[in-house]
Amino acid sequence: MQQKKEGKDDSFLQSQFLIAMPGLGDPYFEQTVTLICQHNEDGCFGLTINRPMDVTVKDLFDQLKIPAENDTSIQGINALRGGPVQVEQGFIIHDSSTDKTWENTLKINDDLSVTASRDILFDIGAGKGPDNFLLALGCASWAPGQMEQEVLSNSWLNCPADKKIIFDTPYEKRWQGAVKTMGIDLNLLSDVAGHA
């Protein structure tokens, strides 16, 4: 087992929002907010929460033949593009409103988890799932040290994840909403790094 270096926290971005700076030219990540689900010495994994797809959660349930007795909870909710990696894989970001556990769940913090197994979909369909959830297809991932370099090069801002932005804010307002939680005026942001 590797020992951590004194004072170094490899998980410093876990449970944070990664907010694209206005000058980020990557067409996929432009004006995105990404929830960092895990960050350690092996790299970084997150899910973008403000890129809705044309497909709804109900459409996906129908396609997967998952019964949805309580389809009001999934009606009209768009699935999200979680990232450019593993685009066929579904990820459910959810709150901790239930004590139920699922096969493949990663705890992000005390209030949020992400589950990548189908069993949660059956519980959601039966009305026994978490109170709040998002379904994302695909994820974003970074190699060890890559995310730290991108933050240092002024591609991203980061701040603590906010459940209200994840579950209660319209998709098109999540980027501005995340920036506002930091007390920053978007008009004053520069895409030029201010360090040597």
- Per-residue model confidence as pLDDT tens digits over 48-70: 999 999 999 999 999 999 998 76
Show the domains of the chain with their CATH numbers: 16-188 (3.40.1740.10)
Q: What is the pLDDT of residues 90-144, one digit of tens each?
A: 999 999 888 888 999 999 999 999 999 999 999 999 989 999 999 999 999 999 9
Burial class (CB in 10 A: 0-12, 13-18, 19+), 41: exposed
Nearest-angstrom CA–CA distance, 154 and 168:
28
pLDDT value of residue 99: 82
3-state class (DSSP) for residue 120: helix
Full-model pTM: 0.89
Q: Cβ(45)–Cβ(36) under 8 Å?
A: yes
d(CA 23, CA 2): 37
- The pLDDT assigned to 24 comes to 86
Query: Under a CB-based contact definition with an 8 Å cutoff, are residues 91 and 135 in contact?
Result: yes
pLDDT of the residue at 70: 67
